[in-house]
Structure 1
Amino acid sequence: MGQQDQVAGVEALIAQVIAREGDYSDHPADRGGATRFGITEAVARADGYTGPMRRLPIERAEAIYRRLYWSGPGFDRVAALAPRLAAELFDTGVNMGPDVATGFLQRALNALNRGARDYPDMKADGRIGPSTLAALSAFLRHRGAAGEVVLLKAVEALQGERYLTLAERRPANEAFLYGWLADRLS
C-alpha cells in the first residue's frame, strides 16, 4: 500500500468512526463521560483542548484520531503489510485503546506461529515495534493472502470476548454491548 493510498485509507477510517460515533454525547452509563465525534473529554483535554466539548472542532478530532490512534501506535506501519488488519486495529484502538488492540495482534501472532517454528514468540507489550512487524511479515509470508483474513478473525474474536467480559463485569455496559458488537459487522 503506497503512502497516498494509506492517507486516503486512514481518512476514510476516521470518517467512518466519526459517522458512527456521532456528534455530542454524554450518556450517563458511559464512564468516558462527554464525547464529541467519539473523542472523550479526557483525551481532548490531554491534547490541549480547553473549550466546551460541545464545540470540539471536527478538524481537531480528526487530528487526534490520526495521531493517537493511527500513526502514534504504528498502525500505519501495519497497513503497509496488511491494510485490512490495520483498519481493524485502528477501530479496536479507538474503542479499547491502541495498546489493547496491539496486544490482541501480538497474542494472535504468538498463537499462530506453529510453536515458534515460523517466527519467534514476542512479548505482548501492546507496542508495535520491530519484533511485532517482523512477526507479522513472517506470518504473512508463511500463510499468504489468506493469513491476513485468519489473523483478522483472531483479533476480532479477542475483541468480542473483551466486550462480553466488560458487560458481564459491569451491567451498565449492557447498554452499549449490542452496538459494540454490531459495529464489528460493518
Structure 2
Amino acid sequence: MTIDQLIDDVIAREGGYSDHPADRGGPTRWGVTERVARAHGYSGEMRVFPRDEAAAIYRRLYWLRPRLDQVAQRAPALAAELFDTGVNMGPGVAARFLQRALNGLNRNGRDYPDMPVDGAIGPVTLAALTAFLDLRGAHGERVLLKAVEALQGERYLALAESRPANEAFLYGWLANRIGS
C-alpha cells in the first residue's frame, strides 16, 4: 500500500465530524483533533475541516516525521500498522511498541544490541529492524507485526480499565485497529 492509500483508509475509518462526550480529544474531523488542526494553522470550524488538510497532517506528522517511510522500505506491512497505531495513539507510542518488540526479539542482544525505548525511530532502531529482518525474513515481519499488535491490544485494555468512559471505544479499537 502507498501512503496515499493508507491515509485514505484512515480517513474512511475515522469518518467525518465527531464530538463524542467520552472522547477527551474533543471535536475531530477525519480523525484529526481540533488541537492538532489548530497547531497546524487551521482556524475554522472543525465541522468543515478540509479533508486535504487532514491528509497533509497525516503525511507530515504520522508518516514522514516518525520516519515510517524508512520503515516501509524494509517492512511495508509493519509500517502500515505503525502508521495506524500512531494516528490513534500517537507516533511516539507506535515507535515505542516497535522498539520494545525489537528488544524482546533480539535473543538477549545476540542478534543486535538493545536500544533505548525513546519513541523516536532513528538510525539505531532502523539498524535493529534491518538486522532482525535480515535474520528472520518475511516471516519475521509477520512475527514483529504480531508483537506490535499485542502491545497495542494491551494498551487499549489498560486504557479501558483505567478510565471507564473508554469502554465506549474498546470494542471498536479492538475490531478496527488491530490487524486492520
TM, length-normalised to structure 2: 0.98
- What residue is the counterpart of 2:38 in the other structure? 45
- Report the count of equivalent residues: 179
- What residue is the counterpart of 1:3 in the other structure? none
After TM superposition, where is structure 1 displaced by more than 4 Å over at least 4 residues in a row? none
Q: Does 1:81 align with 2:74?
A: yes
- Amino acid across the alignment from 1:60: E
Q: How much does 1:145 deviate?
A: 1.1
- What residue is the counterpart of 2:129 in the other structure? 136
2:102 to 96, 99, 109: 109
Task: Classify 1:112/1:185 alpha carbon distance in 2 versus 1 (closer, same or farther; 3 Å).
Answer: closer
2:164 to 165, 168, 171: 171
**In the aligned structure 1, how far is the partner of 2:7 from the partner of 2:137?**
28
- What residue is the counterpart of 1:10 in the other structure? 3
**In the aligned structure 2, how far is the partner of 1:144 from the partner of 1:78?**
14
Q: What percentage of residue pairs aligned between the two structures are identical?
A: 73
Secondary structure of the 1:135 match is helix
Q: How much does 1:185 deviate?
A: 3.9
CA shift digits 1:62-99 (9 cap, x unpaired)? 00000000001100100000000000000000000000
- Amino acid across the alignment from 1:109: L
- What residue is the counterpart of 2:143 in the other structure? 150
- What residue is the counterpart of 1:4 in the other structure? none
- What residue is the counterpart of 1:5 in the other structure? none
**In the aligned structure 2, how far is the partner of 1:51 from the partner of 1:137?**
43
Q: How does 1:27-38 map to 2 (within 5 A)?
A: 27-38=20-31
Q: Any conservation in 1 of the 2:149–2:179 contact (CA below 8 Å)? A: no
TM, length-normalised to structure 1: 0.95
Q: How much does 1:55 deviate?
A: 1.1
Gapped regions of structure 1 (runs ≥ 5): 1-7
Q: How much does 1:144 deviate?
A: 1.2
**In the aligned structure 2, how far is the partner of 1:20 from the partner of 1:134?**
32
**In the aligned structure 1, how far is the partner of 2:138 from the partner of 2:17?**
40
**In the aligned structure 2, how far is the partner of 1:182 from the partner of 1:86?**
19
**In the aligned structure 2, how far is the partner of 1:66 from the partner of 1:133?**
20
- Amino acid across the alignment from 2:164: P
**In the aligned structure 2, how far is the partner of 1:115 from the partner of 1:22?**
43
Secondary structure of the 2:149 match is helix
